[in-house]
Structure formats: C-alpha cells, structure tokens
Amino acid sequence: MPKYVYDFAEGNRDMKDLLGGKGANLAEMTNLGLPVPAGFTITTEACTVYLDTGEVPNELHDEVSEHLAAMEQAMGKRLGDPEDPLLVSVRSGAKFSMPGMMETVLNVGLNDESVQGLTTISGSERFAWDSYRRLIQMFGKTVLGIDGTRFDEALDRAKKEKGSEDDLDLDAADLRELVAAYKRIVSDDAGRDFPTEPREQLDLAVNAVFSSWNADRAILYRRQERIPGDLGTAVSVVSMVFGNLGGDSGTGVAFTRDPASGEQGIYGDYLQNAQGEDVVAGIRNTLPLAEMEGSQPDAYAELLRIMEKLERHYRDLCDIEFTVEKNKLWMLQTRVGKRTPAAAFRIALQLVDEGLIDLDEALNRVTGAQLAQLMFPQFDVKAGKDQIGRGMSASPGAAVGKAVFDSATAVEWAAAGEDVILVRRETNPDDLDGMIAARGILTSRGGKTSHAAVVARGMGKTCVCGADSLDVDVKRKTFRTKDGTRYAEGDVISIDGSTGAVYAGEVPVVPSAVVEYFEGSLDPDSERADDVVRGVHRLLAHADEIRRLRVRANSDTGEDSQRARRFGAEGIGLCRTEHMFLGERRRHVQRLILADDDAETDAALQALLPFQRDDFVRILSAMDGLPVTIRLLDPPLHEFLPDLTDLSIRVAVAEEKDEPHDEDLELLGAVRRLHEQNPMLGLRGVRLGLVVPGLFRLQTRAIAEATAQLLADGKHPIPEIMIPLVGAVQELEIVREQTEHVLAEVGRERDVELSALIGTMIELPRAALTAGQIAESADFFSFGTNDLTQTVWGFSRDDVEASFFSQYLELGIFGVSPFETLDVDGVGELVRVGVERGRAARPDLKIGVCGEHGGDPESVHFFHEAGLDYVSCSPFRVPVARLEAGRAALASGGSDSR
C-alpha cells in the first residue's frame, strides 16, 4: 500500500520526485540538525490521484491525522486549540521550482475562538487579528476562488479610513472590523461562510494546493520552462512561526552568493515585523540582509553560519527562506538557487577553484541556453543616456521597448511586433503572460527575491526591481519620476538589468563581451576580461576536450564561414547554394528556365559558372583544412521567378495600356508551367537535378574548379557534395555517377587529382526507412531535420507556425514547437532507424545533422545518444552546440575517444 505522508525526519534531498523540492529540502535541513519547524509532507503521488479522480486517496485522511497528532505532540499544542492554538502553513512544492505559480495558505487553524488564544499567548491582540485577516484573505482567494481584488479593496478602505497608506498603522480594532468585512466577502462571493473548523480548513487548503498544479499560470510556466505536466505537486504542512510579532521578529530571503552576478558576499532581503509573503510579493520595499545584524545580531550570526553550512553541503548557491520569531531563527526552506547566466558561469568556476566541485560538475552546472543569453547585446557605455530612475539589478541584460502597464497589453502589443517593457508596482503570478511577452520587466517595489526578480531570472529576462523613485499608476497607465516628469503607455524606455538603471528613450546596444571573446577581439587572460568571460573560456575548453560530437556551421558566404571558424566550428555542415542564385544572378537562372534549346541552356549555365566558382573559393578558403559540405540546388525553380499573381497583374496592365511586355509574357508562361500546388513536395532537390539538364553538373564543375584553384595555391580544401531530397537509391546513383564524371573531367583539365565525399540529405521518411540501400551509394548522411519534421508531421512550416501552432502549444499537444526542439518520439525515431540501417550497410558511414536543431541544446543531447558524428548550426549557435556536446558526453558517461 502506498505511503502518502512523510514526516520531515523521514525524507531527504534525493526524494524530490515524491516530496517535491520544498519537502525534500525541509527533510534534508531537519536531518542536518538545523532549526526547522515541525511538519510533514503529502506526496506528489497523492496529488496525481486527486488530479486524476477528483478525490484524495482513501488512506490520506488517516495518514494526515497520524502525522498531525505527532506534530501536535512535538509542539505541545493542538491545531486550532482555543487556548494555545497550533497553526500551520500549507505550501506547494513541486520537483522543479515554480516560484509563485502555485498556492500557499498561512495561519490555518485560526477561527473566532483560537484568535483569542493567540492573543493571550502572543501578548499582542493586533498580531492575532492581523494573522486571522491574512488567513481569510488567502483562503478566500486560494481555496474558495474569490477575486483577490475584493480583499485588497477592503484593506484599502480600512487604511483610507485610518488616514494611512501603511497596513502597519491599523490597530487591533481596525483589523477586527476588517476580519468581519472579509467574512462578508466570503459569504457573498463564495455562497458559504468561512469555515471555522480547523481540520476542514486544513483539508480544503491541501486540495486547493493540489488543484493549483493545473492553474493557468502554472501550466503556462511549465510550458515556458519545459516542465512535464504529469508530475504533480507535493504539499508541505509546517508549524507556523511568526515574523510579525514585533520589532524582535522578522522574515527574509537569503542567497549564499549574489544570484544576479555570482559575486561572493551576503545577499538577500529582510523585513522586520512581517510574514514571508510580504517579502516575496514585493508589497513592501525590503532592507538589505546585512541590516538584520543591527536588530537581531544573534539570529543574524546564526543565519550566516547556517548559510555557509548549507552551501558547503549542497556545493552550490543556496536560496534560503527564514523567519525570526522573538529573536529565535527558524529555517523555512532552502533550495539550489536560480541564477542569471552570468552568475551560473562565475559560480561554477568559483566552486571549482574552491575545491568543492570538479570541471565535469561545473560543466553540468551551466547550459547552452545560458551561454546563448550571455551572447545578447548590452547597452553602449559610451552612448548618452537620460537616467530617470534606479532600482535593483534583478536579472541582467539590456532591454528597450514601449512602456505598458498590464499583462494583456504586453501580450497584445508584442504579438503585433512591438518591443515592450512591462511596468508594474509589483508583479504577481497572474502577470506571467505579460512577463513572457515583454523584453524586460520594471517594478517600483520589491527586491531581488520578489516574484518579478525570481521569475525573470528563471526565464533569462531582463528585470529591474524596487525602482522606488518611480511612482507607478497602473490604472492611469503612467509613471512619474522624482522630478515630476510623466511617462505614459507607449513611451520608449530602456532598462539595464545589470546595473538597475532606468533610462528615457532608446539606448544603443553593443555586442556582449562574450561575443567579443568569440570574435577574437578580447583575450580571456587580459585585464579587460571579467570572470564570466574567463568562465566561458575554461568551460568551453573542457567541453571541447571531452565531447564526441563534432560541431560544424551552416554558412553560405566566406564572411559567415570565417566567423563560424572563429566561433569554434570544425567545418561547414551545410552550404546552401540556392542563396548564391539570388540578387543580380537571378536573371541568369531565369534565362536557364526560359531556354528553348541546348545552346541557350549551356549559355545560361556558363554565365552562372564563374559566380558559383568564386563563391566556393571564398568558402573553401575560409575553411581551409576543414570539411565543407555543399548542398546542390534544393528549392523549386519557381522561387527564382516572379510571383504568379504579381506577374499576371503586370502583364494585364501592360496589355491594357498597349505597352511592350514580350519578356513578361514569356516569364508568365514559364511561371504558369512551373506552378505547383505544393512546391515543397514537387520538383525540387535531386528531382530538379535529374529533370533540368546540366544544373547539377554546373554546380559540381564550379566546386571542382574552385578546389583545383585552391590546391594550386597551396591550400587544403575539403569539399563534400550533398544531394538533397533523395528518396530512392536510384536517384543518388545517377547523380553520383554524373558528379564523379565531372570531378574526373576537371581533374584531367587541371592536371590534378580531385576527390570529394558524395552523400545525401536524409529528409524524407522513405530515405530514413531505406537508409541501408542508400548507404551503399553514399559516403555520408546528413539529416535535414527541418524538412524531415515537415514530412513526418505533414506540416508546411511556413503555414502552420502562423496558423495553429499557438493553439497546439496552449492545448499541450506540443510542449515546444517541433521545429525548435526535435520531436524525439516521431522524427527522432526515424533518425535512429536511419543511423542503424545506414551503418549496418556501411559501418564507416559519416552521419551528421544540418537542420537548425543542430544548435538546440536538448536536441544536441539526442544526436549524441543516436550516434551522430557531428551537428551543424548557424555560426552564432556554434558555441552553444560545443558546450552542450560536452554536457551530452558527461550525461552518457562517455567522452571523445580521439
């Protein structure tokens, strides 16, 4: 029979699947002997039963009763006792951190009788009634589904009647009246009275936390962070300790290192006479953690000792929540803290240098997605700036956009192509849509541990918090600066998440220091390089040492090829020759299409030859000594012709005006002749090479002549010729024979031995399924995962992404677009089949991938596991692929065998 409830002393940090991150870490701290309030955790398995059936497991009630009795015995109190009440918090806690996305209910166990007992025990009538009103407010919103603004409005009225803007100015009598007002709201809006029986409160709160796993914002966050939707949340039931008992109490959040920069030191936020939700919600501006020393020196000293102990135990940055109740420190949570990309690289190398972890572990602590974030541009330090405010540097980066003041507008404007900055007093979980849509987030309240800061860091989104000199008026959609200047919705502002600065207007941006390092203009050992650049340098060097997968680039020009090489590419995995036929060269392609006989065809081809040859000389020269895979012409010929509708109109207008239009008329005939209902599945790729005489021979000759020229210059070109869209081995056999003939012909003409690997793209399901046959005539395979995804799913990418992909993502059919991250179950299975069957026929078959999936971190891990030899991606993604290839080698327990 499954066990659904665990006392804190029964668990440990390795039980996150069952106890969630919060429950597992509370158990770990308990086992370390740290001051943790008594409590127990209800497992994720109980949650999944509840979500599947709508009912908690039959055994859960008795198990909770058993552990609640043990808690009551340990604390010497009973839940909701009228004389000395035990109060508990009911908190969510999934395996993966989802800050603010699910629910929490505090002070469970209070009612009209136990509030009197709490008054007696605490010695503060105000504290007791403040705790009671917080329970009704949280319970009403979380458990009963009442609009939270109803309670906010009642609180605002109470403060207005008191003539104050601070809820701390409300006395016990004011709060007693507020409790009565809150109860009326519950009765009116929920159709029932607020439940006063403590156990009913507890059971309903647990169910509400379970249900919050499927709240809209939680689903959206999981989709954004790619967290599986079937995990469920655990629920931790914890004895309440109170930070709002007076000046000798307080609450805070601490980090063992700065989560924004990675710098060592004392970082965090603290509030005297407050509960934990006050810090996280950002409703009051916090004090720096160091100021706690002045008010609670003993608790502060103990906190520093515990922070050091936890960091050395977890061997990582720790995020800690704590409360001080009458000078007694209590630990409420710890977890490995979210951090910015810069902090991730800096902290990983710090821990290596401190001897806590090795380079392998450090490489596992950073990701390709974080490296990509570090390559984003920053504000130009030399540019003129009009600073209008400053807050806390919550999440770094440079963001420029139009100010918007609500989530819906952020989503709407971003969808219309506008860059926006979401400006709020403070964010809450309901703002998640707008936070995702915005370029950056600016709040006038809250600190580095507020909701806005934590969520923004997790998403890699630029964020400035606590810019309290800005008076934000969300209703009027404006904010004012200290000097009274007013900024309205639509005004452009710029925010610097690295410094906390807020600027009026658009501030120019410059490349990041990491990009300068990759470009070769910044020496990682120079004084100008910071620890982040040095961290990237060291960890990429380690990844290069251990990875098995080679990394190439997709490049069509000499300039891009040079950049790719600087970024660490080990060759070109895809050179698209169709891009070489655009611009002024398009007219030569049109001549080829319109040719009526062999002579005209040959003339058109000869006109294109020098252009192609010079392109290949530049690319092969840039990649001298490294392989360059050149894909012969792939798209349908109609792409080089005018649009059918536009051309038809042009001809009709010319006829109407009786103007000369013979050339357009001839073009129109060709366009109509070549028009296809579905050109992506029509005359393109190898089919085009077989149907249009001389086209592939021209390209092969250009490659051969460029190679011969470079060999004569003493260089070492390594061309590889790739035939696109092969579906049958016979297609490849015919083109291969033609290709080898041209190579031999040019070799004789130039008196040089020319050779090139000849292979094919695997981008059709039939090609993957018949890979064994195709491998007999191929020196290499390269999976074209963009087209393979289209043909496996039956999608036309240009159409479906704009038409219904957003709904598929919302419905959970996709966790992420299959064009962004490889569909492992469908497309991936064909990749596995193609590798297995190809290598069975030809063990030395070289296999790579050249779709943009080659630069996607998750997909790189799959390609490693599938046994590919290399991935290829855009030049800017090359460092990302190098890093992830190293991490993939570690994950599989293997590394490069060179």
Q: Which active-site residues does the annotation give?
A: 451, 850
What is the C-alpha to C-alpha distance for residues 707 and 160, in angstroms, rounded to an integer? 82
Beta strands in 116-249 (DSSP E): 233-239
Question: Tokens 């060709």 sit at which residue?
Answer: 670
Q: Say how far apart CA 9 and CA 29 lie, in whole Å.
A: 9
Q: 3-state DSSP: the chain helix, strand, coil percent, rounded to 5?
A: 50, 15, 35
Q: Rounded CA gap, 490 and 401, in Å?
A: 8
Strand partners, 320: 254, 334
Is residue 289 within 8 Å of residue 270, measured between CB atoms? Answer: yes
C-alpha to C-alpha distance for 871 and 859, rounded to whole angstroms: 10
Total residues found in the chain within this entry:
898
845 torsion bin: left (phi>0), alpha (psi -120 to 50), beta (else): beta
Helices 662-674 and 644-656, packing angle to 10 deg? 150
Helix (H, G, I), strand (E, B) or coil at 302: helix
Give the chain's radius of gyration (CA, Å).
33
Which residue type sits at 40?
Answer: F
- What are the strands, taking DSSP E only, across 623-673? 627-631
- How far is CA 779 from each of CA 550, 551, 701, rounded to the nearest angstrom? 17, 19, 19
793: part of which helix (H) or strand (E)?
A: helix 785-793
Residue 565 tokens, joined: 């090489």
- Compute the half-sphere exposure of residue 581: CA atoms within 13 Å on the CB side of its CA: 29
Tell me the two tokens of residue 558: 């000499």
Whether 782 contacts 574, CB under 8 Å: yes
Alpha carbon 837 to chain centroid distance?
A: 35
**Integer Cα distance of 31 and 13 in angstroms:** 10
CA distances 631 to 269, 376, 554, 836, Å, are 57, 31, 11, 23
Element (H, E) at 575: strand 572-576
Nearest to 3 by CA among 54, 69, 85, 62: 62
Instruction: Give the burial string for 857-870 (b: 16+ CB within 10 Å, else e).
Output: bbbbbbbbebebbb
Take residue 749 and report the two structure tokens written for it. Answer: 């003409």
The pair of three-digit structure tokens given for residue 41, joined into one six-digit string: 């955790």
Lookup: tokens for 278: 């006050």
Contact indicator for 301, 329 with CB cutoff of 8 Å = no
Which of these, 647, 644, 639, lies nearest to 579 by C-alpha position? 639
- For residues 885 and 864, the answer to whether their CB atoms sit within 8 Å is yes
* Rounded Cα–Cα distance for residues 122 and 831 (Å): 67
C-beta neighbour count of 168 within 10 angstroms: 13
Amino acid residing at 347: I
Alpha-carbon separation of residue 151 from 138, 201, 417, 497 (angstroms): 9, 19, 37, 33
Looking up tokens 């009440």, which residue turns up? 85
Return the structure tokens found at 181.
Answer: 């007002």
Q: Which two tokens stand for residue 816?
A: 């992420």
Q: Which two tokens stand for residue 581?
A: 């036929």
- Tokens standing for residue 304: 């520093």
- Cβ–Cβ < 8 Å for 388, 504: yes
